[in-house]
Structure 1
Amino acid sequence: MINLSWERSPSSIIYYHLGSKHNSDMKKRDFILLCVLGFSLAMLIASCSVKPDNLIAIGSKNFTEQLVLGEILAQHIEANTNLKVQRKLNLGDTFACHQALINGKIDAYVEYTGAAFSAILQNEPISNPQEVYQLTQQKYEQNFNLELMPPLGFNNPFAIMIRGEDARGLQVQTISQVAQKTPLWRAGFADEFLERKDGFPGLAKTYNLQFAEPPKVMDSQLIYSALKNRKVDLVAGHSTDGQIGRFDLAILQDDRLFFPPYQAVPIIRQQTLAKHPELREVLQQLSGKISEPEIKRLNFQVEGEKRELKQVVQQFLQSKGLIT
């Protein structure tokens, strides 16, 4: 028979004792079970922490064009190497993707030279595209063991935008012209734009921009609809975004040349290139293959027409003869 007795411990927690033989058997079973579970957990952790030799991770920032570019890298690598690609798209802003690359959470992603030069390297914006590329390439190699591949073929600078009807009604085309109107306007910017050297602080100083109230911090995916719906009067976006034409927005000319060039370039860990040298040639094959009209069209197909990302990218790469 089982000897079951109840007692109250000093901490007033009620517990019970089982007979000695039954209790001993239970302890043995519990010990064996714990050993099995512990071994299983250790094996699971080990399997998760070791990345297979033929697997690389491709990342992207958190807006449509970046998803397109990440998928372009992924499909092109899968089609032209024996590597498998883990997609880690929509990671966040410039700083999040850079940190993921440094930490080895991803092996490559597409960055813009102006963002790398001003946001990551903390340089004051300059306007010479080749100088920005070369200086960024040099510092990324020295400071981070990262390699900039050749540009993909298009430039995607920050773009200051207002509603098309406002631009036509006020007959304004430049940021300087709009600066005379902004004391009565409201602005909306993504958080990253408010922080970067090539963002709002430098822009406001260059053009003496003042607004009726402090700029609203907005999600980068919502700024265009906010502008269209008159929640704000001026926003900063990207010149190749697919929604610009869809919402009838006007890009203002940067007449004082504040913004640096933003050439789209794949960035990859040198450790990854050393392990998979074939990636160098494969990524170089994308050099100059994407024009500004083409990236705008791809962005609109995904964001405006709501087409499936992988299909849009596959058709584009096939049209370029990069995959079959």
Structure 2
Amino acid sequence: MRPLKILLGAVLLTTFAAGCGGGEDNPLDSKGSTGGKTIVVGSAAFPGNVLLAELYAGALEDKGLKVERKLGIGEREVYYKLLENGDLTVLPEYNGALLAYLDPKAALPATTEETDKAVSAKLPDGLKLLQPAAAQDNDSLTVTSETAAKNGLKTIEDLKPVAGGLVVGGPAPFEQRFKDKLNTVYGLTFKEWVPDRSGGGNIPTWLKSGKVQVGNVFTTNPAIVLDDLVVLEDTKGVFGLQNIVPLVREDGVDAAAEEALNKVSAQLTTEGLLEMMKKVAVDKNDPAKVAAEWLDAHPV
């Protein structure tokens, strides 16, 4: 069954990524539910989240559940509302980033348990977090090794004397979510903020070309190792924890679905995610194929 699921996932990813936009032609009109109905698994537009969605979708299919994929939707501001509205059933989320979205002024807790508790307190009725993974895919401020050496950069705090002459880039919502926090906590005022509307995939290239000198690179991005980039230590915890966790509609998943999703999370590590992301981002393997291989080795 794996080859068929891989092909279907690839076709849906290609079709939806080309056509999503939230207008009248948006195909997000299915109501996810178990009990013979379809569970609709969505994702953000960047490869790491698409990969996670394929992992969760494949695990559900392995339990004999009917799954529809809606991948590459866009930013959280779009896909979160689709989950609220019932157009999606399951989303791979990041607990700290979700908390920052739900309450931009919230202090990000120091533990996974506290972070999940804070998120759950902000969620509307009908949505809930399942079991978090040990794996994290965190936000960061990252620079090239040349920029780090030139300016003596090891931590985010080290940017303060030079930030005024540096351009920072990140996914489109990055400025809105973290500009004030970086200024308040670290005293950083950058020369310019440049949005990457691809979801952040261009940032390593922009760092290498000099278009930006500081970038919001997710910490499981293989470019960090391949391009000799330096992730600046977040000593004051602005970015908090970013454990991967399924966010679901309670009316769309039953006990069998929750068990499958939780078993994926229980086996997912940061190292394992980085290895899979190398296959996707560097080796150019289809995320559905990479997810299927992982699920074969980590049955649920």
Partner of 2:224: 244
Q: Is 1:110–1:266's contact at 8 Å kept on the other side of the alignment?
A: yes
Residues 1:309 and 2:287 are matched in the alignment: yes
Partner of 2:259: 281
Q: Secondary structure at the match of 1:280?
A: helix
Q: Secondary structure at the match of 1:144?
A: coil
Change (3 A) 1:75 1:183: same
Partner of 1:57: 40
CA distance in 2, matches of 1:183, 1:286: 43
Residues 1:319 and 2:300 are matched in the alignment: no
1:194-221 C-alpha deviation (Å, 9 max, x unpaired): 112xx22211221111233x21122312
CA distance in 2, matches of 1:238, 1:51: 29
Counterpart selection for 1:155 from 136, 142, 150: 136
Counterpart selection for 1:291 from 240, 263, 269: 269
When the two structures are aligned, how many residues end up with a matched partner?
267
CA distance in 1, matches of 2:97, 2:76: 7
Counterpart selection for 1:128 from 78, 102, 110: 110
One-letter amino acid of the counterpart of residue 174, structure 1: T
One-letter amino acid of the counterpart of residue 311, structure 1: K
Q: Is 1:117–1:123's contact at 8 Å kept on the other side of the alignment?
A: no
One-letter amino acid of the counterpart of residue 203, structure 2: I
The TM-score, its normalising length taken from structure 1, stands at 0.77
Partner of 2:235: 255
Change (3 A) 1:114 1:183: same
CA distance in 2, matches of 1:294, 1:121: 30
Q: Is 2:167–2:212's contact at 8 Å kept on the other side of the alignment?
A: yes
With a CA cutoff of 8 Å and minimum separation of 6, indicate the structure with the bigger relative contact order.
2
One-letter amino acid of the counterpart of residue 242, structure 1: P
Counterpart selection for 1:209 from 153, 165, 188: 188
Residues 1:200 and 2:182 are matched in the alignment: no
Residues 1:225 and 2:205 are matched in the alignment: yes
CA distance in 1, matches of 2:229, 2:121: 37
Residues 1:86 and 2:68 are matched in the alignment: yes
Counterpart selection for 1:111 from 89, 93, 118: 93
1:129-186 C-alpha deviation (Å, 9 max, x unpaired): 221111212332xx23112100122122211000022223443211111221222222
Q: Is 1:175–1:255's contact at 8 Å kept on the other side of the alignment?
A: yes
Partner of 2:156: 175
One-letter amino acid of the counterpart of residue 201, structure 1: D
Change (3 A) 1:119 1:51: closer
More displaced 10-residue stretch of structure 1: 70-79 or 95-104: 95-104
One-letter amino acid of the counterpart of residue 176, structure 1: E
One-letter amino acid of the counterpart of residue 206, structure 2: A
Partner of 1:146: 127
TM superposition shift of 1:123: 4.3
Give the gaps of 5 or more residues in structure 1.
Answer: 1-47
CA distance in 1, matches of 2:217, 2:292: 26
CA distance in 2, matches of 1:171, 1:59: 41
Q: Is 2:94–2:243's contact at 8 Å kept on the other side of the alignment?
A: yes
The TM-score, its normalising length taken from structure 2, stands at 0.83
Q: Is 1:127–1:259's contact at 8 Å kept on the other side of the alignment?
A: no
TM superposition shift of 1:68: 0.6
Q: Secondary structure at the match of 1:133?
A: helix
Q: Is 2:30–2:40's contact at 8 Å kept on the other side of the alignment?
A: no
Give the gaps of 5 or more residues in structure 2.
Answer: 1-28
1:271-297 C-alpha deviation (Å, 9 max, x unpaired): 113xx3321222221232111111111
